[in-house]
Structures are given as C-alpha cells and as structure tokens.
Amino acid sequence: MFTKKLLTVVTSCLLVACATSPTGRSQIAFMPDAEMNQMGMQAFGELKKTKAVSRNTRYKNFVNCIANHIIRQVGGKWEVVVFEDKSLNAFALPGNKIGVHTGLVNMVDNQHQLAAVIGHEVGHVMAKHSNERMSQETALKQGMGILGAVVAPQTAIGQLGMSALGIGAQYGILLPYSRDHESESDVIGLDLMAKAGFDPRQSTVLWQKMSRASQGQQPPEFMSTHPAHDTRIQELNSNMPQAMQKYQQAQAAGKRPNCRK
C-alpha cells in the first residue's frame, strides 16, 4: 500500500505543469535555458569535430535557403550545417543549431519536403523538448531512487520487481511523452513551413517516402519514440486545413521561396 502511494506521489510530480508549449500543452521543464543552450552548443561543436561537414556548395545553398525562410518565422541567429552522412536525418539542438544529413538532401524531391523536416526540428527547440525530456528523466530517476531506498529490495524477486517497474516507467511515461514531442513538432513544423510559404501538403508526401524508405523496419508504435508513419500522416492531414490557410496567406504576402537543389 505504501509503495502504491509513493508511486502516485512520484507520478503526480512528473505531471506537474511547469510550463506551456507553443501548442498549449502543459509540460514539466525545469532545467535552466542557459544550461540547455550551452549543452546544445557543446554537442554541436563536438559533432562538427567528429562528423564530416559537407563541402557540396549546391547542397549547402539549398539547405541554408530553406532554413533561412523557416528561421525568419521564429527569429534569432541560427547555425546551419550540412553533414556528409547517408542516413535520412536532420536535427536541431538548443542554442539554435541545425544539422542536416546529405542522405536526406538526396532523398527529398523539392524544397517543400525538406522544409517540413527542418520546420519539425526547429519545432523541437521552440517547444523546449530537450528540456522537458531531461526534466522528466531527472524526476523519474529521483523518484525511483526514493522508492528503491524505501522498499530496499534485497531478494531476487524484489530486484526483479524494481527492474519491471523501470520498464513500466520507460514505456508508460518516457516514450509516450517522446511520441507527444514528435507529434507536437509535426504540428509546429507544419505551421512554420506554411507561414514561410512552403507547401504544407508536401509534408505528407515526405512521410510517405520515409515509410517506403524504412521498408517496414520501424518498431511497433508502443515501443517507439516516433509515431507510426500512418499515424503521423493522419495527424498532419487533420491539421492541413489550418496550414493551407496560412500557406495561402503567405503566398498572397509574397512569400514564395525558390530554393533549388
């Protein structure tokens, strides 16, 4: 009974709303922004030392052109780097850092599809998902430490119970939040690309391409930090009417990006 009550307290602490994301979602994010930015900049600096930076001028111009249109919607000074890597990946880090892999540049058909990815990654930074993720993990570890000290499992069965509790926390708390982050970034990214004048309809085309490229290798949704491709496409389509309205407004205002690969 005591264990159950303690778990309830720990879970309640994890659910306390300390901040609000750009979409209005309550979130717990108690790490200092300056510290998160410093970690992001340090990690990005290490990546530039350990990963090959692309020298392909055409790719760099293409990526920077798209990123600059997206960045204008959020403001601030950002660093954008194209990495020589065949994987279909891009990322953004606290401290306003954007990295794009050449494999992704190769895969996309047009500026709109890459804008969907860059907008999505910038969305993670805008919503402080790294802060939220670290805050969740910190709170969870503290809670598990308290529970372990109180219960003090010494037997093999007791230790197995603590292990199972850890697995339950992983799939019941951390991964679902991560899927929420991905879905939220999709919505933010859709909004950003539309406001910048990129066609939001190409976001669903992109994820259809991603689905084909994965060749069915994506893990089951409940064990994944990313929504299933079909789920992602459905959620994008549900937000498409608003995005199309913003896209048409951007076009009418003269926002017509012309970034060519």
Give catalytic residues, as residue numbers.
121
Cα separation, 53 vs 91, in Å, equals: 14
State in Å, rounded, how far the first CA of the chain is from the last one: 62
Task: Return all residues near 153 (Cβ < 8 A) that are at least 6 apart.
Answer: 159, 161, 162
CB 107 within 8 A of CB 213: yes
Task: Return all residues near 162 (Cβ < 8 A) that are at least 6 apart.
Answer: 144, 147, 148, 151, 153
Give DSSP secondary structure letters for 95-136.
TTEEEEEHHHHHH-SSHHHHHHHHHHHHHHHHTTHHHHHHHH
CB 246 within 8 A of CB 189: no
Judged on CB neighbours under 10 Å (0-12, 13-18, 19+), 154 is exposed
| C-alpha triplet 110, 96, 195: angle, nearest 5° | 45
Cα separation, 143 vs 147, in Å, equals: 6
